[in-house]
Amino acid sequence: MRTLRSTLFSIAIAACLAGAAGATPVVFFGEDAGLGDHNGKLYLHPNADAARAEFMSHLEGVGTEDFEGLTRYSAPPLNLLFPGAGTATVTGGGQVMDDRFGPSWNTAPRPGEEFYGRFAVSGHQYLGQVFAPGFSVSFSDPVAAFGFYATDVGDFSGSLSLGLVGGESLVVDIPHAINGNGGSVLYMGVIDVESPFTSVRFQASSGTDVFGFDDLTVGALDQVDQGVPEPGTLALVGVGLVVLAVARRRRRA
């Protein structure tokens, strides 16, 4: 109990400091538990979809990369175009996968349309075989919004977080399950109108997890509406999310 209380206290202090610095991004997050590796693709993921819908409701005219138009097995660096926000370069590991097939070194068809818990959320193609820490995206111009679906995050110990680089660089916790079922689906979106960022970089506390990503959305500052909650409210929402994550991790422990 002592640990939880001091953790919450630290979080509250951190939230206040973040609020004072005016650099708190708005975070939209939802996660649906997977069926386990080798048990097929999770087609219904209402929590993740709800987070995406809320994130997208604050954006207008943004582009989303669904990986359907890219050549199967092409690998980073990948150059992507996001209308109204410029170009983006994906670097790091992974390859464009089709979930009806395995990766380039094992192209046998996958009847369950999942490969060790990873699959496309839209269509059949996605950025797969991404090993921790994940990948980085650098933008041609500063952006204020970034969102993505990820599959198979957290079926090992270790947590994944997202660094926003440029402006006021900071790391945003991704409150995903730890040691959960393989094949989970999560959505996370961040909007930071006060501190647009020039790149995002995933960071992992452990190197054993492998992920899939799909439907990357990027928004410039002028594509974000003015209805985004004030940072004060946000700090509270952030505390709520972290408290939930802490409680969940404690339950698992």
Interface residues with Ca ion (CB under 5 A) are 37, 66-67, 116-117, 120, 122-123, 125-126, 152, 155, 182, 209-210, 214
Q: What is the 3-state secondary structure (H, E, C) of the chain?
A: CHHHHHHHHHHHHHHHHHHHHCCCCEEEEEEECCCCCCCCCCCCCHHHHHHHHHHHCCECCCEEECCCCCCCCCCCCEEEEECCCEEEEEEECCEEEECCECCCCCCCECCCCCECCECCCCCCEEEEEEECCCEEEEEEEEECEEEEEEECCCCCCCCEEEEEECCCCEEEECCCCCCCCCCCEEEEEEECCCCCEEEEEEEECCCCCEEEEEEEEEECHHHECCCCCCHHHHHHHHHHHHHHHHHHHHHHC
Pick between residue 29 and residue 116 the one whose CB is nearest to Ca ion.
116
Tell the smallest beta-carbon distance from residue 213 to Ca ion (Å): 9
Q: How far is CA 219 from CA 28, 86, 170, 201, in A?
A: 14, 9, 18, 16
Pick between residue 55 and residue 116 the one whose CB is nearest to Ca ion.
116
Pick between residue 31 and residue 66 the one whose CB is nearest to Ca ion.
66
Tell the smallest beta-carbon distance from residue 15 to Ca ion (Å): 29
Pick between residue 128 and residue 196 the one whose CB is nearest to Ca ion.
128
Tell the smallest beta-carbon distance from residue 209 to Ca ion (Å): 4
Tell the smallest beta-carbon distance from residue 139 to Ca ion (Å): 21
Tell the smallest beta-carbon distance from residue 95 to Ca ion (Å): 14
**What gap in Å lies between CA 128 and CA 43, rounded to an integer?**
17
Tell the smallest beta-carbon distance from residue 126 to Ca ion (Å): 5
Pick between residue 208 and residue 233 the one whose CB is nearest to Ca ion.
208
Pick between residue 83 and residue 240 the one whose CB is nearest to Ca ion.
83
User: Within 10 Å of residue 143's Cβ, how many Cβ atoms?
Assistant: 29
Tell the smallest beta-carbon distance from residue 90 to Ca ion (Å): 14
Pick between residue 37 and residue 54 the one whose CB is nearest to Ca ion.
37
